[in-house]
Amino acid sequence: MKVKVGSASVAVERGDITDWDVDAIINAANSTLVMGTGVAAAIKRKGGVLIEEEATRQGPIEVGEAVLTPGGNLAATHVIHAVAMGPDLKTDPETVGRTTRSVLAIADKHRLTSIALPALGTGVGRVAPAAAAEAMVTAVVAHLKAGKTTLKRVVFVLYQDEAFRAFSDTLKRLGALQ
């Protein structure tokens, strides 16, 4: 599923985000930026410990914020570590949206043209995939429609069926509204 928003393309793909060849992949991080489990552990395993070392040097950061590190041995040049939940392991769609906006601001600040995002908050954070999709796709579409961005390609890379369907349906609906 792919739509054009402004001068950029937004797509929903199935796969392993650690394989994506983009300027930056997004890591669903914790506020200490230690890469212990889930997607973070996979990124560290594939990309190397340098990614975590660079991240923790910039932490801790607040929920809703994001930082950029090199991508190490990944195909992606960078990793943006986005904190969508605090130490209590709770989050909500509003926080997921705010965190997505922070990711987009970091991407523009560093003049990135392509990013790949996972479904933030849907694992340990227990946000329903449909709610995360609504928050994240809304933030991305609004950002790209505003036009003042370096981004040309945004890909939501989903691993699970439910998230893939939710993001595809949301992008179809919001992409048609522009």
The reported pLDDT for the residue numbered 147 is 85
Q: What is the pTM of this model?
A: 0.95
Has residue 178 got a pLDDT over 60? no
Residue 38 confidence (pLDDT): 82
Q: Name the nearest CA neighbour of 115 among 175, 150, 146, 155.
A: 155
Return the H-helix or E-strand segment holding 115: strand 114-117
Cα(19)–Cα(50) distance, integer angstroms: 18
Q: How confident is the model at residue 63, as a pLDDT?
A: 96
pLDDT band per the 50, 70, 90 thresholds, residue 176: low
Strands in 7-100 per DSSP E: 8-14, 24-29, 66-70, 78-83
Domains and CATH numbers, the chain: 2-177 (3.40.220.10)
pLDDT for 88:
87
Residue 145 predicted with pLDDT over 70: yes
pLDDT of the residue at 37: 83
CB of 39 closer than 8 Å to CB of 50: no
The per-residue pLDDT for 50 is 96
| Closest among 146, 166, 158, 155 to 3, alpha carbons compared | 155
- The predicted pLDDT at position 103 comes to 98
**pLDDT digit string, tens, across residues 72-86:** 999 999 999 999 998
Once rounded to an integer, what is the mean pLDDT over residues 97-103? 98
